[in-house]
Structure 1
Amino acid sequence: MNWNENSQDPNNRIDPVMFVTRSLDEIRFWSRIMKEHSLFLRLGFRCEDTQLINEANQFYHLFEQIEQRSHSLTNQTAPEQMRRFNSEVQLAATNIFAFKRKVLGLILSCQLPGANNFPLLVDHISREANYFRKRLIELNEGKLKPLADAIIKENVFFLRIMADHAKFIGHLLDPSERKLVDMARNFSNDFDELVFQARDLEGMKPQSQTVPLLDQFLDQNRVSVVSLRDFKKTARDLIEECRIKSIIHPLLADHVFREAEHFLEIIDMFEAHLTGTMSQRR
């Protein structure tokens, strides 16, 4: 996310150059994430779930094409062309969101016994699809949220994502990996607490939206995200080298690592704008 005061007018409208840049950043990151979600869902379905498998494969290829097309565009792309592409991708994100919620409904109504997609995981990836969908709508509308609102809202969203990741890692590691399972559980508890703190800060708006409080909020979250990012990197490397016991797909391990990196980039961008300095503590 590129949040830049100079790219706004007093009405928080984003300028054309920043609109294209931010649109491409969002689509390039999230289209890859959506593509991988499709793969993870497919791997969790039962052999007999052929219709769901086919739908997942269709979404995989759709977002693979979107990802490829996004890399054929540049920051010099005409805003109108970018706006049309955003609308097209937003429709795809809306459709995969609906697919994920359908799958969640089937799981919660016990219509997929024996499948291997956790309900929380399906809810988690549907929240990310909805986030992506809404981000593209906001970009096409040409408005940015006020900085203080954006800081709190983005952190509430991503802290919950990080808490979920820790829970998934803990459940997908082999139970005999006791030390790593315990570490994942501790990260889950840490991020659950951070989510509650973020929601408390959100509930105290607008009085809570002071620079010192928001700066401390970002600093505290960064410390925890860096620790989790490093844990994910270690787990990813160990999984790729077949040095630990788990049922975690190597791509899933890299997937959650990249999302932590993305969150850190967002935190750093917010702090750079809030205080005029970029963190060197990563």
Structure 2
Amino acid sequence: MSDRFVVQSLDEIRFWSRIMKEHSFFLRLGFRCEDTQLINEANHFYRVFEGIEQRSHSFQGDVDPTTIQQFNIEVHSAVSHIWVFKRRILDLILTCRLPGQNNFPLLVDHTSREANYFRNRLVELNQGKLEPLQDAIIDENVFFLRIMADHAKFIGHLLDPSERKLVEQAREFSHDFDELLYQAKELDFMRPQSQTAPLLTQMLDQNKVSVKSLRDFKQTARDLIEQCKIKSIIHPLLADHVFREAERFLEIIDMFEAALNKKS
């Protein structure tokens, strides 16, 4: 294990532990007041990931890699538990045992997919078995394009229907990212023959343009929500949450572009 392992591990944990913490908060907001057990569990996970986030920032770059390896194992356990919690909530919703609650089934599934992504990343880091570049490019884009498509759908449904222009923009982004996701999946199905530098570069270029547009839309919506200038039931933290995930995707695309250029 190396300094790179430490840096990558802490970067993943610092970003995703905050996301998991916020998921706990958003899910809690959607429960009915009588769902005290679920509310308590959500509060528990909020505290767990708040603690993980704080611990991750306490480590310096020169920390012993074995310490971070053990930290990854602890975080993996916590993420596995919140994944189970999210899937249980989804089961309760889909079997109509939480009538009147306000968490969309797709939102709960969305948060569980992100938890599964996070714990898989921790396993890969600890085992030192990161994907080859070409596989990683396709897999990361398939994952994040679906996340971005979901975000557009959530925004469209949480804006007040009278915000017609913004709702229409959200629908357009939803359609755009569904199409990009289908294209990425088609490259996935055509593997390994599709893993050429020109095809991967074109996918990254195309996705980057759309993600930047969606990122800017999210930023505008976030600012308007914070200033109370639009009508919605979107919590300001949720608006910032989805903005940060778009920023994360752009960072990953930039990293892949640099790696492809270096390889070529």
What's the TM-score bracket when you normalise by the shorter of the two chains?
Answer: over 0.9
**TM-score, L = length of structure 2:** 0.99
Q: Which residue of 1 aligns with 2:102?
A: 116
Q: Which has the higher contact order (CA 8 A, sep 6+)?
A: 1
1:164 — aligned with what?
150
Match of 1:276 in 2: 262
Task: Give the equivalent residue in structure 2 for 1:103.
Answer: 89
How far the C-alpha of 1:74 sits from its partner, in A, is 1.6
Q: Secondary structure at the match of 1:143?
A: coil
Q: 2 CA distance for matches of 1:160 and 1:187?
A: 12
Q: 1:55 aligns with which of 11, 19, 41?
A: 41
Cα shift at 1:61 = 0.3
Q: 2:166 aligns with which of 160, 180, 183?
A: 180
In the TM superposition, structure 1's runs of 4+ consecutive aligned residues that sit over 6 Å from their partners are none
Partner of 2:186: 200
State the alpha-carbon separation in 2 of the partners of residues 104 and 141 from structure 1.
Answer: 31
Match of 2:234 in 1: 248
Alpha-carbon distance in 1 for matches of 2:189, 2:38: 40
Give the root-mean-square deviation of aligned CA atoms.
Answer: 0.8
The whole-number CA distance in structure 2 between the counterparts of 1:217 and 1:256 is 22
Deviations 1:146-196 (A, max 9, x none): 000000000000000000000000000000000000000000000000110
- TM superposition shift of 1:276: 3.2
Counterpart amino acid of residue 169 in structure 2 = M
User: How many residue pairs are counted as aligned between the two chains?
Assistant: 263
Equivalent position to 1:40, from 26, 49, 56: 26
Q: Where is the helix percentage greater, Structure 1 or Structure 2?
A: 2
Equivalent residue of 2:79, what SS? helix
2:31 partner amino acid: F
Q: Which amino acid aligns with 1:85?
A: F
d(CA) in 2 for partners of 1:166 and 1:57? 27
Identity rate of aligned residues, in percent? 75
SS in 2 for 1:71: helix
Separation of aligned partners in 2, 1:144 and 1:98: 25
